Amino acid sequence: MTKPDPDKLKGPGGLTLRQIHEQVKLSTARDRSERLQKKSAQTINLNRWQRFIHYVWDKPKSGS
């Protein structure tokens, strides 16, 4: 039995299987880049928080 041509098979919404595949690839790449941007923003905020904590804890205590 031969495989059906993915360019002729219609899926949900009337898109061909190849078009669906391309849309999934694009959305996956978009989601991955958004996740990386979010992760790097969290890292920056965490670094700021860590610097603040070190500043507060490492200050010499006055009155000792």
Distance of alpha carbon 7 from alpha carbon 27, whole angstroms: 20
What does the pLDDT look like over 3-55, one tens digit per residue?
777 677 787 788 888 888 899 999 999 999 888 888 777 777 778 888 888 88
Give pLDDT, residue 24.
93
User: What pLDDT is attached to residue 1?
Assistant: 66
Task: Indicate the pTM of the whole model.
Answer: 0.49
Burial of 16 (0-12, 13-18, 19+ CB in 10 A): middle
The reported pLDDT for the residue numbered 61 is 66
